[in-house]
Structures are given as structure tokens and as C-alpha cells.
Amino acid sequence: MKYDEALKKLSQYGQEHVLEYFDELSGEGKAALLQQIEQTDFSVLAKAAKGDKEQKRGVITPIPAMKLSEIAEKKEEYTNKGIGMIRAGKVGAVLLAGGMGTRLGSDNPKGMYNIGLTKDVYIFERLIRNLLDVVEQAGNYIHLFIMTSEKNHEKTVSFFKEKNFFGYDESYVTFFMQDMAPASDYSGKVYMETKGLMSASPNGNGGWFSSMKRAGVLDIVHKAGIEWLNIFAVDNVLQRIADPCFVGATAENHCAVGAKVIKKAAPDEKVGVMCLEDGRPSIVEYYELTKELMEAKDAAGEPAYNYGVILNYLFRVKDLEEIVGREMPLHIVEKKIPYMNEAGETVKPEKPNGYKYESLVLDMIHMLDSCLVYEVVREREFAPIKNPTGVDSVESARALLKQNGVEL
């Protein structure tokens, strides 16, 4: 893109300040900034300027869940079905590792965090170990796609290489980078990180499938004959990945997606809960759950919105291909964004100073027709690491790992 074209694009969105220091940049710096402008979608910023925070929700009603007792009755049937699908190469796994992990506060990718006490135990290692359990059970490898971002790609890839992929067969691992979105101040003006670089952040975990497509990784999915993708978060060190019983249950119930859920510990626990929204599967975030919804009961007298999602979903690829490219709701999140001050220095703020723009995977669920809500045992499958201490922390995850017999 040429300077004039860049200026024209910026002026459409009131972002001309991005070129303020253009003349001071080196030839390389100029080219890099023009490229960044070319690749950036500024339309998201207009939403902040309009104060367009969250989209309006539809009518929320309860969705039935497949409970532990029901799963136990059909465990063998579902597991056999799932193992068959894995052996036929129909199941792939996608590790969502493009996030910034700001709450944990480490400069490295979250998965490189060492949670060991007497030996090294990295988050990535725990996840690979969990997946290897299924590989051993099925007797064949499962293709693993790892989503990184521009911010952590190189470190993630070299870490896996240095650790020999923690014993996983490297030929079944594919890395791809997710897309970035600009970050702005509260009025919607994009921040500059340096004179030649706009502040940008990964565009949220909802961009995983479109990023996979753009990166050309979908060709591998097609060639390998993968029909289902199990996406999972980097920070839940206890979760079961490509769990044969879950895979079999989702397929046998002819659902477009399966969602692993846990029973809420308390009505006001801070997890998003599964529901129907205007008759389609959906998720209400904890901060959207009104008192009325929190107190609602189902026919059996149980809380009607009682199953929280843990970011472990099994998607049917053909259904994803139908929705890819459709516009997704945009979530405007207040965050700490590094920016350049008047002296030209990059500042890392202590407090939130603007917005990041993200699409979320939970919004994909609502775009699909059917979802199997599949209960798992919290103490066995849910140990998220979001913070260094306290709730959902390194400390709480260590305790849960020990409880499950994992040596640290």
C-alpha cells in the first residue's frame, strides 16, 4: 500500500494520527507501518466511538443437559463410537493459545508457565500429556492444531521444538497464527505503541476457525479427512481432550457441536451458562444473568441455568464451514494497552486505558442449530489457570492436579 492510499483509508475512520511520525521512520519502518495499515480492519473502532458496547440479547430459556448419570449409562457405547472415530482419523484438536494471558502476568506464552514444585511441569506439557492418554487408548495420533498470535508465535514454536513436543509426534502438530485487531483509547482512536507501530492485540478466540481458513490450515483438515475439531483453552490443565465418550455422545446425538460443562458451585458463580436464546443454543455470561434467571428452576426443581462452560467444545467441521465468514458479535473489552507518550516512549499502563476488540468462541455456538450440553466432573476436568494466586490460579490448579494424582 502507498502513503496516499494509507492516508485515504485512515481518514475514512478518523485515524490520520497514525501517520504523524511517518517522515521520521526509516525506509523499512515506513514499509512496515504501511503494511500494518493495509492489513488492519479499522471498522471495529467505529463501534467504540459510538459507545456501542454489547449487542442486545434475545429471549433466554433453559436448555436440557446430558447429566453424569445419563452419560454413565451409555459410557461404553459412546466411548466405542468415539474411539472408532478417532481411529478413522475423523477427530482433530485445536489448542487456543493466542491469548495474552495478562492476568497471569508472565511475559512468555501462558503454556510455557512452569507449575512444577519438585520438577518442571509446564502447562503445555500437561495438555499434551492429557491428549497422549487418548492417543494411547486409541492407538493412533490425533492431529493437533495450535493457534498462536503474532505476539507469541515464535516463542511457542521454539519452546515445543526445544522440548521435543513433549513426546508427541511432531508430524501431527500444525501451528497457525490468529488475526490481530487494533486497540484504541476510549474514544476509538487507535493507540500507537511506537512511532511506526499501531497497538494491536489478538482478535479474540472466536476468530479461530476463520484464522485457520485464512492460514491455509483447513486444507490439512480436508486432506486428513478430519470431520470434528475439539477446541480447548490453554489454561485448563486438567481437561480431557478428544475425550472418546464426549466425541461419541456428540456424534450419536447428531449435534453440530458438543459443549463440556460443569455444574455450578453456587448460583452466582462467575461462569457463562448454557441456555437457549430465541430457541437456539447459546451462552449467557455471568454478568448478564439476571436475578430472575439465577433463581429460575427446571421441572425437577433444579436451578434452570446450572451448567457452566469450560471452553472445551467439539465442532462438526461441515457446520463451521457454513457459518465461516458470517459477521460475529464484537466484544469491546477494557484492557491495559501499551502506548507511546508525548516523549515518544512506550508506556505499559498500570490500569486499563482503552479497548480491545474481540470475537468470542461462545458466539459461534449460537450460530449453530444444535448443541449437546455434556456434563463433566468439575474436580476431574476443570483446573483453569488465570491468576497467579487465589481463584482459578496456579495455586488452585496445583491442588486439583495433586488430587488427581499428578506429580508436581
Residues that bind ligand UTP (CB under 6 A): 96-103, 147, 178, 202-205, 233-235, 311, 358, 386
Q: Could you tell me the smallest distance in angstroms from the CB atom of residue 75 to ligand UTP?
A: 28
Nearer to ligand UTP, 252 or 392 (CB): 392
Question: Look-up: residue for cell 479427512?
Answer: 225
Q: Could you tell me the smallest distance in angstroms from the CB atom of residue 393 to ligand UTP?
A: 12
Nearer to ligand UTP, 96 or 368 (CB): 96
Q: Could you tell me the smallest distance in angstroms from the CB atom of residue 152 to ligand UTP?
A: 9
First to last CA, the chain: 52
**Position of minimal CB gap to ligand UTP:** 99
Cell triple for residue 349? Answer: 499502563
Question: Look-up: residue for cell 471452553?
Answer: 311
Nearer to ligand UTP, 81 or 386 (CB): 386
Q: Could you tell me the smallest distance in angstroms from the CB atom of residue 388 to ligand UTP?
A: 11
Strands 371-375 and 257-263: parallel
Cell triple for residue 229? Answer: 475439531
Helix, strand, or coil here: 176? Answer: strand
Q: Are 86 and 140 in contact (CB under 8 A)?
A: yes
Nearer to ligand UTP, 94 or 406 (CB): 94
3-state secondary structure 1-62: CCHHHHHHHHHHCCCHHHHCCHHHCCHHHHHHHHHHHHHCCCHHHHHHHCCCCCCCCCCEEC
Cell triple for residue 14? Answer: 478518523
Looking at residue 313, the DSSP 8-state letter turns out to be E
Q: Could you tell me the smallest distance in angstroms from the CB atom of residue 295 to ligand UTP?
A: 27
Q: Could you tell me the smallest distance in angstroms from the CB atom of residue 375 to ligand UTP?
A: 21
Nearer to ligand UTP, 19 or 400 (CB): 400
Distance CA 357, CA 181 (A): 6
Looking at residue 127, the DSSP 8-state letter turns out to be H
Distance CA 166, CA 277 (A): 41
Q: Could you tell me the smallest distance in angstroms from the CB atom of residue 154 to ligand UTP?
A: 16
Nearer to ligand UTP, 124 or 305 (CB): 124
Q: Could you tell me the smallest distance in angstroms from the CB atom of residue 122 to ligand UTP?
A: 15
CA Rg value for the chain: 22
Close Cβ partners of 329 (under 8 Å, ≥ 6 residues apart): 54, 55, 359, 360, 363
Cell triple for residue 312? Answer: 472445551
Nearer to ligand UTP, 81 or 110 (CB): 110
Nearer to ligand UTP, 67 or 103 (CB): 103
